[in-house]
Structure 1
Amino acid sequence: MRKLWVILCLVGMSSVAWAQESSPRVSVLPFAIHSRQDTVKTQKTVMELLVRRLEAEGVKTVDPQDVEKSVRPGEAVQNEEQARALGRRLGADYVVTGSLNEIGNSISLDARLVDVSARKKTEALFAEEKGMENLAAAANQIVQQMAVHLLARAVISEVVIQGNERIEAEAIKSNVKSKKGELLRSEQVAEDIKAIYKMGYFEKVDANVTDTSTGKLLTFVVLENPTIQEVRIKGNNKIKEKDILAAISTRQYTVLQKNVIAEDVQKILKLYSQKGYFNAEVKPRTEFPKDPRKATVVFDIDENKKVYIQEIAFTGNKSFSSRKLRSTMQVKEKSLLSLVTDRGILQKDILETDVDRLTVFYHDKGFMDAKVGTPEITRRDDGFYINIPVDEGERYKVTSVKLQGDLIQDEAKIQEKLKSKPEEYFSREKLREDIDVLNKSYMNEGYAYVQVEPNVQRHSEEQTSDITYNVKKGDLIHIGRIYVTGNTKTRDKVIRRELQLAEGDTFSSEKMEQSITKLKKLDFFEEVEIAPSKGDQADIMNLTVKVKEKLTGAISVGGGFASDDGLFASSEIIQRNLFGRGQTLGVKGYFGQDAQRYVASFTEPWLFDRHIIAGIDVYNWLREYNDFTKDATGVRLRTGYPFGNYSRLNVYYTLENADVTDVDEDASAYIKSQEGKLLKSSITVGMERDTTDHPFMPTRGSINAVSSEFSSQYLGSDTDFIKSEVKSGWYFPIYWKLVGFVKGEFGYIDDTDPDKPVPVYENFFLGGINSLRAFKWGDVGPKDEQGEIIGGRTYGLATVEMLFPLIEKLGIRGVGFFDAGNVYTDIEDFSVSDFRTDAGAGIRWSSPFGPLRIEWGYNLDPEPGEDRSRWQFSAGAFF
């Protein structure tokens, strides 16, 4: 650094020397003044300004007092010959003469630089500014122009960059203010050197000045920083190296920049603070293992332990406990969940949002003047302690709720729908809900552009408030044109038939929402949007249905493993939107050591363009039981009729030819009685209702189903029985992002003809990934006298699940579950106390390749010979 300043001083000294060595002597003569200003005073001011600036540039000047002795006050020399004569008398090499002109708010200096010897031509100089207050700036411009002519040897002839290898010369020059054709200034060169250093790419910067026939050659000689050959991250365990490298700017094969490395240290520390490692330390070091021009940058990380929020406290809260206030916040104290989640991590941006949440909470509870202050964060040895000041203010009650404006219903009927009620505490949330209720009520009646403006009057002395909703209904809107966009495969009519609004209908926001829901439930599209736009007339609205299609064909595989049953697998090839018609065609296969099943199916969801579902299944089912083998071939005809928004009535006809063979000699009499072929002809009637919000990852809603199968000799069947089942499952949000699921199932078979016993393979069996997950499929049920499971006539099953996000962005959920159930010989034997139970956990992923489930069940009360636990899985792949 000392060397740099020595160089700059030498440059400065030499530049002054250049100016002094070649500087001619100049005499500034009085200017002619064309202005409202005092002529003599203004003449003197102009001369002083020009002389002072010329001397600052290193130009020798004639003393203005000597000039004044040679020219009478107020006079000006306009003739060049007179000017030269006066210049010779004053001993000057050059004289400067001219005029000052003031016109309106503008001033100008028109000057001439006259060579006394007359060997050089006279140079015209000009400067213009706004107002007399800028006279000094105009004089400076004239001097700058004079300096170029007077100090020709001190003018920059060229600016050159030397020593740069990777940084372009033009990129360096863009930071340099010394330009070709300008006067060389030592102070400007010093600033230029600083500017090049600030670029961060150079280890050393020098400036050299050499004389040329055309002026001064200014050369900046740079030495670039070393090249980064490698960037290493050491000591990181909690954050992956690729994530750290992606966050920092130090890169391989770039120029080493110390300021960038310092910034990268802060970026790494920020990454760790987001994970709760506020004590993390990052020490950068630069190594030159082989070549002093090739650097290796190493970031040594000492992660240390996580720092959690130990306590969140409040001051000033009187009406609500600190626990209640904490429950409204997203930032939480450390708990057991901190072992598997980010709970307890301090994130200041989220904490700032929590201040708004707390304020909203108080306003919703009637504290209209409540204020929540800035959280005070204290760092101690064991973690963070946060105190949040609260000023609750007074609590307001509602004295009246009124409606004004365009009312389409009786005011009393509308008020019944409103949440805000007189004599209750004021709530901003209820106010928002009321606006939403009013908007929807009017929009469902066709008033799409309704405006609801709430007016809340507070009475501070009484702590009361009056609410008035002003309603402007606007025009009654009808649907004009409906456009469908984004569908490249799915046919327009497949989309249009799900819409609850048609061209010409009165607008309804409820029907538009139902249309979006129905389109989403098709599961043909990644995105669904219905965008309204104004039609040709004020009372007409056009709708544009925008969809983004997804893959609807799938190849799925599933299976499980048991120590006594080995591997089993299942597969399915299905297209849920065949040729874009909304039809489903699929082939399923189950492959195991003891069973094989094949099913080909086709479904038409709109038979004859009416919302009647029709389908057919053709199947073959071969299963090897312990004492016999069943080989069945059959066909099933299906039809269904949706009604309401979520319900459907189903009717099936099944014709199955089953053959029971390979009956063991030691089998029970019951099993031996099943040997031979048996024809089943049956009708199944069922009803189901599905209100869930997602086909695989629901968070709310329910699935309820009831069905009965009638097999009778009157249908040509060899068996007579009625097989009935009831299933009910409910999803509901619990807390944070936890979702609860409760399911119950019950089934019963009624043997209507004792002379034609129900086939053993029609009995109920439990076990597997969809029932009791600690057991293999069909492993739970009554046994015969030989100890073999033969299923039963009735069963019960209960499941409780807790679902929670693991990696929310990727759609990965965790699940903890409890299963209880059993199968009984007859309904008289049914007893909840005999239920088999298991518990376990698993992972569910709505992957790009289809739904994936991996679950482990633990047998809570194993019987002799049973496995203690079992893994179950199913997976899929889309095409």
Structure 2
Amino acid sequence: MDGNQRIETGTILTYAGIARGETINAGQLNQAYQRIVSSGLFESVSLEPRGNLLKITVKEYPTISKIAFEGNRKLKDDDLSGFIESSPRQVFNPEKAERDAQTIVEAYEQNGRLAARVKPRIIRRSDNRVDLVFEIFEGGAIEVQRIGFVGNRAYSDRRLRRVLESKQAGLLRALIARDTFVEDRLEFDKQVLADFYAARGFVDFRVTGVNAELARERDTYFVTFNIEEGQQFRFGEITTISEINGVDPDIYQNVLKIRPGVIYSPTAVENSIARMERQGVRDGVDFLRIEPRITRNDRDLTLDVEFAIVRGPRVFVERIDIEGNTTTLDRVIRRQFKTVEGDPFNPREIRQAAERIRALGYFANADVNAREGSRPDQVVVDVDVEEQPTGTLSFGASYSTSSGFGVSVGLRERNFLGRGQTVAASVSVGADTVNYNLDFSEPAFLGRDVEFGVGFSYLETDSDNALYDTNIGTFRPRLSFPVSENGRFTVLYSARYSEMDNYTGTSGILARESAESGSFASGFGYNYTYDTRRSGLNPNAGVLLSFGQDFYGVGGDLDYIHTSARVVAQTRVFHEEVTLRATLEGGALTFGSGSNSRAVDRFSGQIIRGFESNGIGPAETNGTTTEQLGGNYYAALKLDAEFPLGLPDEYGLTGGAFYDIGAIWDVNTAGATGTLSSTGFEDRHSIGLSLIWRSPFGPLRFNWSTPLKKEPTDKTQNFDISIATEF
């Protein structure tokens, strides 16, 4: 035996399968050679018979001293190290190194870089050691040039492209990763297309194929989805039957919200089953299950749904096991389950809990599965999560046509100390303003579905849109809890300090208010919101309602009631290409005896487009100078339409049109030295067009406005830039 340094002689003889004193022929000698080579331990092997002596000479593979990557920019060394089999202090194996190179290539292909090439090389060192270096040519990312559809009639290509996770290459593509071709993403796109059509009654929809064609230059893909939409179905007859003695089906029928004639949606059926099962829990019926039995009526394109109340198997939850959470506390995950150990097992509730865990945003992956427990009538729910960063540090710059340029810095942690709490702090500095904000939120106060939060803000302005300075500080602790499926109620305490000084204008009213010292207001309030956008039966429409009041006068210097209300309704028409939205909002300040409002309390912002912030409402004129005073009441109605412009989707540009009606009125006239105007209700009207750009930096809205009805003292504004509101 010759050449072996690390490998024992006995080990080599074992691979060879030859014993001393054994007679062998040429075939057996060749088999021994192959067995030694296939061990992967030797760079070269030779077997030389010398009479009664067989000399085996080997050259051992070197040991890997270190592994390096060269040429990689898009994938970091740590990521690549996790893909490969080779590792330092192992014996170098050329076949394994080639497999590692191919694995790295596949990783780049998953990131859309199909032209990537990887070549393993070795650098020999002393003592039979080598450095393994993977030379990487990443190549360029192959983008998706065009996404098309074949077979769609109900919805346009443009509408369907908005559903997909994959996107076409477009402007500022360096900031958008979803226009890179990733084959696995197409499978996800097929599922979201199916979900999109199913939610709109197309129960026979299917994707018959996806063609991804690589351009001749191998630098771009053309993706085509072949689909069959089928017919759109609506709900037919809705009935409920009971197969459990003592359970009245009429009670469960009454909790249903779906009605005949409505477009069929599996989500609506699932929501109905959940409502009926919750009713069963309230009635104390264990192991109640709802089976939807659907009858198809092709003649009138309806689906009759019969909800059958049946007794499910007697299976209990033995325990809930949670793994993978290194930071997040177990209780944060457990409270997403409405089921605890010992409760009857409900598969639907477990699926919903899994969705709630994923919706937290704390985990990159969250798998929830049920398996048989220690007995056939028990199950164990396994929760396997993978943590991801939940903190963000943001820096930003802004521009407002009313306030000029500004900068901001913010820090936000959505899972503070792994407790599921949110802590946020931010500072914004503009040309004439400084704004500090601090907020804390506990979503499960005392282990209940009650959110406790506390917020603090401080705003300081230096002649910001007025001829005076302001300082406003607010402290607001709050408790919020659900009162219905779509309703939520908040109770709060509010402490507010405000002052205005350094007035340099001509208004007698503002001069009197500025001469007053700062005031402190303290009181309690409430707010009710009703939101059907997520749980409503119609995926194309929704309503958001908010109403709240603050009752100041519990201590402090002021006695008044602050009331605010807002209603937003939206729907999509013309095959969901056009969005129609109506917003009605208003506010009122009602002061008690001995208290009067000041400019820092009154409504004065931009309530409708076409006018500046603090550009309408009561005004006082002295000579040639007119100053806005703000008002104790305001109301506004905004009608919006958004529509496609026919431009390529990748530009992210859509058009808009709007009609706004609004007014600000009522002010305390004490101290006036000039002529007052618009103190009563006088509505203003404006009309305009918008360009909405869904940019990588957020949705921006450019408005061109024309006032149709205004007052001589109003300050108009024909153009403004704002953040586009997403309903």
Tell me, yes or no, whether TM beats 0.5: yes
> 1:648 and 2:469 equivalent?
no
Identify the match of residue 628 of structure 1 among 444, 468, 480.
Answer: 468
Q: Is the contact between residue 276 and residue 308 of structure 1 (CA under 8 Å) also seen in structure 2?
A: no
Q: Does 1:706 align with 2:543?
A: no
Query: Relative to structure 1, is the Cα distance of residues 591 and 679 closer, same or farther in structure 2, using a 3 angstrom cutoff?
Result: same
1:473 maps to amino acid: R
Q: 1:741 to 1:164 in 2, by over 3 A?
A: farther
Residue number in structure 2 paired with 1:725: 564
C-alpha separation in 1, matches of 2:447 and 2:11: 69
Say which of 295, 298, 304 aligns to 2:135: 298
Within 5 A, what are the aligned runs for 1:287-436? 298-300=135-137, 303=140, 305-306=142-143, 335=168, 340=176, 342=178, 345=181, 347=183, 381=216, 405-406=243-244, 408-409=246-247
CA contact (8 A) 1:720 1:758 kept: no
Equivalent position of 1:263 in the other structure: 99
What's 2:516 paired with?
Answer: 676
1:229·1:295 contact (CA, 8 Å) conserved in 2?
yes
Q: Which residue of 1 aligns with 2:110?
A: 274
How far the C-alpha of 1:402 sits from its partner, in A, is 9.8
Deviation of the 1:762 alpha carbon: 0.8
Match of 2:46 among 197, 206, 210: 206
Match of 2:287 in 1: 449
Provide closer, same or farther for how the CA distance between residues 477 and 304 of structure 1 changes in structure 2, counting only shifts above 3 A. closer
1:764 maps to what in 2? 603
AA at the equivalent of 2:117: V
Question: How far off is 1:759 after superposition?
Answer: 0.4
Determine the C-alpha separation between the residues in 2 that align with 1:359 and 1:523: 22
Q: Distance in 2 between matches of 1:430 and 1:627?
A: 56
Counterpart Cα distance in 1 of 2:125 and 2:327 = 59
Give the distance between the partners of 1:304 and 1:503, measured in 2 at CA. 49
2:501 maps to 1:661: yes
Aligned residue for 2:287, secondary structure, equals coil
Equivalent runs, 1:802-821 vs 2, <5 Å = none
- Identify the residue that residue 586 of structure 2 maps to in structure 1: 747
2:684 partner letter: S
2:681 match: 828
Structure in which a larger fraction of residues adopt helix: 1
Amino acid of the residue matched to residue 176 of structure 1?
Answer: A
8 Å CA contact 1:355, 1:374 repeated in 2: no
**Deviations, residues 314-344 of structure 1 (Å, cap 9, x unaligned):** 7xx9xx89989x9699989984679645469
Q: How many residues are matched?
A: 649
The 10-residue stretch of structure 1 (508-517 or 793-802) with the greater mean CA deviation from structure 2: 508-517
SS at match of 1:764: coil
Aligned-partner residue type, residue 565 of structure 2: V
Aligned residues: CA RMSD: 7.8
Contact 2:422 2:441 in 1 (8 A): yes
The alignment's TM-score, normalised by the length of structure 1, stands at: 0.49
Match of 2:30 in 1: 190
Give the structure 1 partner of residue 527 of structure 2: 687
Which residue of the other structure, out of 48, 59, 62, is the alignment partner of 1:222?
59
The aligned residue for residue 311 of structure 2 is 473
Distance 1:571 1:386, change over 3 A: closer
Instruction: Kindly state the Cα deviation for residue 271 of structure 1 after the two structures are TM-superposed.
Output: 3.4
Q: C-alpha distance in 2, partners of 1:357/1:721? A: 53
| CA distance in 1 between partners of 2:237 and 2:180 (Å) | 42
Alignment of 1:829-848 (within 5 A): 829-831=682-684, 833=686, 839=692, 841=694
| Shift in Å, 1:706 | 1.3
CA distance in 2, matches of 1:692, 1:433: 13
Give matches, 1:80-119, under 5 Å: none
- The structure with the larger Rg is 1
* 1:461-540 alignment runs, 5 A limit: 473=311
Residue 576 to residue 262, structure 1, CA distance change in 2 (3 Å) = closer
Q: Which amino acid aligns with 1:347?
A: E
Q: Distance in 2 between matches of 1:229 and 1:378?
A: 40
Counting only pairs closer than 5 Å after superposition, residues 784-795 of structure 1 correspond to structure 2 as 791-793=630-632, 794=634
Work out the CA distance in 2 between the residues paired with 1:604 and 1:455: 42
- Equivalences for residues 507-656 of structure 1 within 5 A: 623-625=461-463, 626-630=466-470, 643-644=483-484, 646-648=487-489, 650=491, 652=493
CA contact (8 A) 1:484 1:545 kept: yes
| 8 Å contact kept, 2:565–2:587 | no
Secondary structure of 2:467's counterpart equals: coil
Superposed CA deviations along residues 521-562 of structure 1, whole A, max 9, x for unmatched, are: 9989989999999999x9xx99999999x99x9999887556
Code of the residue aligned with 1:668 in structure 2: it is: S
- Seen in structure 2, the aligned counterparts of structure 1 residues 499 and 266 have a Cα distance that, compared at 3 Å, is closer
Structure 2 counterpart SS, 1:833: strand
Change (3 A) 1:238 1:659: closer
In structure 1, what residue type is equivalent to 2:528? E
Distance 1:430 1:733, change over 3 A: same
Corresponding letter in the other structure for 1:263:
R
| CA-CA distance at 1:206 after TM superposition | 1.0
Cα distance, 1:272 vs. partner?
4.5
Unaligned runs of 5+ in 2: 643-651, 666-679, 706-714
Q: Counterpart of 1:686 in 2: which secondary structure? A: strand
Given the superposition, is the C-alpha separation of residues 514 and 680 from structure 1 closer, same or farther in structure 2, using an over 3 Å criterion? farther
In 2: Cα distance, 1:481 partner to 1:252 partner: 42
In structure 2, relative to structure 1, the CA distance for the partners of 1:635 and 1:430 (3 Å cut) is closer
Structure 2 length-normalised TM: 0.57
CA separation of 1:208/1:732 partners in 2, compared to 1, >3 Å: closer, same or farther? farther
The 3-state SS of whatever aligns with 1:196 is: helix
Contact 1:801 1:815 in 2 (8 A): no
User: Does structure 1 retain, via aligned residues, the 8 Å contact 2:476–2:492?
Assistant: no
Q: What is the identity, as a one-letter code, of the residue corresponding to 1:271?
A: A
Q: 1:31 is matched with which residue?
A: none
- Conserved in 1, the CA contact under 8 Å of 2:544 and 2:568? yes
| Helix, strand or coil at the partner of 1:267 | helix
The one-letter amino acid paired with 2:99 is E
SS in 1 for 2:517: strand
Take 1:583 and 1:483, find their aligned partners in 2: how far apart are those partners?
Answer: 22
In 1, are the aligned partners of 2:393 and 2:412 still within 8 Å (CA)? yes
For structure 1, the 5+ residue unaligned runs are 1-159, 803-813, 844-853, 873-879
Q: Shift in Å at residue 205 of structure 1?
A: 1.1
Partner of 1:759: helix, strand, or coil?
coil
Instruction: Output the CA distance in 2 between the equivalents of 1:602 and 1:401.
Output: 47
Question: How big is the shift at 1:760?
Answer: 0.5
User: Aligned partners of 1:601 and 1:387: how far apart in 2?
Assistant: 46
Other structure's SS at 2:549 match: strand
The 1:456/1:798 distance shift into structure 2, 3 A limit, reads closer
Tell me the amino acid that sits aligned with residue 188 of structure 1. Answer: Q
Q: CA offsets per residue over residues 88-122 of structure 1, 9 Å max, x none?
A: xxxxxxxxxxxxxxxxxxxxxxxxxxxxxxxxxxx
The AA in structure 2 aligned to 1:759 is R
User: Could you tell me how far apart the structure 2 residues matched to 1:372 and 1:636 are?
Assistant: 52
- Check the 8 A contact 1:723/1:750 in 2, yes or no: yes
